[in-house]
Amino acid sequence: MIRKILIANRGEIAVRVIRSCHEIGIETVAIYSEADRTSPHVLKATEAYCVGPAPSSESYLNVEKILEIIQISGADAVHPGYGFLSENAKFADTIAKMGVVWIGPPSDAIITMGDKMAARELAKKVNAPIIPGTTEPISSLDKAIKIADKIGYPVLIKAAGGGGGKGMRIVQSAQEIEDAINRAKSEAGKAFSDDRIYIEKYLEEPHHIEIQVFADNHGNVVSFGERECSVQRRYQKIIEETPSPFIDDKLRKQLNETAINITRECNYIGAGTVEFLVDKHKNLYFLEMNTRLQVEHPITEMVNQIDLVKEQIRVADGKQLSISQNEIHPKGHAIECRLYAEDGFNNFAPSVGNILEMDIPQGLGIRLDDGIRTGQEISPYYDPLLGKLISWGNTRKEAMARMIRALSEFHIVGIETTIPFCKMFIQHPRFQNGDYGTKTLEEIKEELLETLREYSDDLNVAASIGAIQKNLLTDQSSASNFTETKQISNWATSGRKDNLR
């Protein structure tokens, strides 16, 4: 019986896991780098321990120190979140050998599916279609050019141990291949300490669709349906929805069955995601399996009314899944917008700084999974994901309208975020009509930028008045220490009166 979980992560996913734990009476142990001492996951956890200096390699990836904290805190289980150590088989093994529960798949499954070449071999065994390309790492540039010629340009250079778009490059012609390989190797080496790369056919106009699978160690394997993840920048998802507006029931069935077959074949246990590319002729290709909880898992939770983190804990505890396949009937529609600390209208350039203010959207059908607070410094050390805004509606139309409404109410001051970009993207006819693929963001980027520049006179006047007002207040505050918040709160006043009674 799990009583205390150490969350080997930070940011929104650490907060997400802590929330589920506390609902079922499990204590939580946060780890934090020196830069994260006052981050929300530390504030919300039952216990918190410093794991090292700011750089990830010295803190959230510092296995030795994490093992020490597991012992000091007496945690009996570890939830890795996503990223960091979540797909590190050696770490999973070490945890298990300590007699501590690893809330994730067995290390064998992590090893097989984490190695893209081994994963392709496994997919072949269950007759899952795969994308033409190499199954061996590329050893030389000459060989790479030969292979690329054989497959036909454009080709994709990918890191063997990669994910999240890092170490990935599209190559249009033989001239570009050398530079692309060097850059991919350098990024992959830094990000995953593994610079092996391979080449595959680059599919044009593909959709990125993934299936949420779940398995327990009683032989049950279920699918919770698909997520359409085609809105991407730098191969990283930014808006996801379920169900996908692109696929029909026949393809949906095929995707779910293939995903379940792959999950069974690798003796999987826990939550996992099988990713596919679907081309414009609705041919599916197995891409990879992510052996962890995904960033975008909340949309699956919304339409299935299930808490995937609680299921993870149940299954890790040796229990059966709380639901069987014939009880899974997704209802309604859910959309997720990722809030990155990036300027969506300036090539998604990272933005760092202090969150001066936050005004958070609420109301029916809205969920915010975040890891930020007012006054928090967003540092350049970690992934720029601040959180996720999720909307649910009875129909796709309602979910979209609700998301636009919520994004309009969402104000973060002090750093740039992807909130305005996501709002304009969802308002665009291509998204509204469900007519988009992985290329759409690039295609309509300029158009969105134009719309943004259509600045009405009214808005210009409004902005000017605000700036003048702020200018006057700044001058006054430096002259006479002007403040606008000297009102006494009614609660404070009534409290004082109570004391007089």
Partner 1 sequence: MKFQAIIDEQILNFDVEQTACGLDISFNDNNLDADCRPLTSNSFSLILNGKSHYLTITENDNSFEVTVDQHTNLVKVKDETELLLDKFGFSDSDEDHAGEIHAQIPGLVTQIYAEIGSSIEKGQKLFILEAMKMENEISSPVSGVVKNILVEIGLPVEKNDLIMEIEI
CB of 468 to partner 1, least distance (A): 5
Of the candidate residues 384, 387, 393, 437, the single one contacting partner 1 (CB under 8 A): 384
Give the integer Cα–Cα distance in Å for 40 and 53: 18
CB of 95 to partner 1, least distance (A): 25
- 27-50 burial string, b = 16+ CB within 10 Å, else e? bbbbbbbebbeebbbbebbebbbe
Stretch that binds partner 1, among 87-95, 260-268, 323-331, 468-476 (CB under 8 A): 468-476
Of the candidate residues 257, 350, 367, 445, the single one contacting partner 1 (CB under 8 A): 350
Compose the 387-416 pattern: x for residues touching partner 1 by CB under 8 A, - for all others: --------------------xx--x-xx--
Contact 341, 387 (CB under 8 A): no
Of the candidate residues 382, 392, 431, 436, the single one contacting partner 1 (CB under 8 A): 382
Does 53 contact partner 1 by CB under 8 A? Answer: no
Q: Is 314 left (phi over 0), alpha (psi -120 to 50) or beta?
A: alpha
The contacts of residue 356 (CB under 8 Å, 6+ apart) are: 374, 375, 413, 414
Does 452 contact partner 1 by CB under 8 A? Answer: yes
CA angle 372, 377, 378 (to 5 degrees): 70
Of the candidate residues 25, 455, 487, 490, the single one contacting partner 1 (CB under 8 A): 455
Which tokens go with 358?
């936050």
Does 428 contact partner 1 by CB under 8 A? Answer: no
The contacts of residue 364 (CB under 8 Å, 6+ apart) are: 402
Contact 231, 176 (CB under 8 A): no
Please state whether beta strands 101-102 and 77-79 pair in parallel, antiparallel, or not at all (unpaired).
parallel
Which sequence positions are flagged as catalytic? Answer: 292
- Residue number with CB closer to partner 1 (153 or 345): 345
Which residues between 174 and 213 bind partner 1 (CB under 8 A)?
A: 183, 186-187, 191
Residue 496's H or E segment, with its range, is helix 490-500
The contacts of residue 389 (CB under 8 Å, 6+ apart) are: 336, 337, 339, 361, 366, 367, 368, 403, 406, 407, 410, 422
Does 472 contact partner 1 by CB under 8 A? Answer: yes
Does 447 contact partner 1 by CB under 8 A? Answer: no
Compose the 222-241 pattern: x for residues touching partner 1 by CB under 8 A, - for all others: ------------x-------
Binding site for partner 1 (CB under 8 A): 166, 183, 186-187, 191, 234, 341, 349-352, 356-357, 359, 380-384, 407-408, 411, 413-414, 419-420, 423, 452, 455, 458-474, 484-485
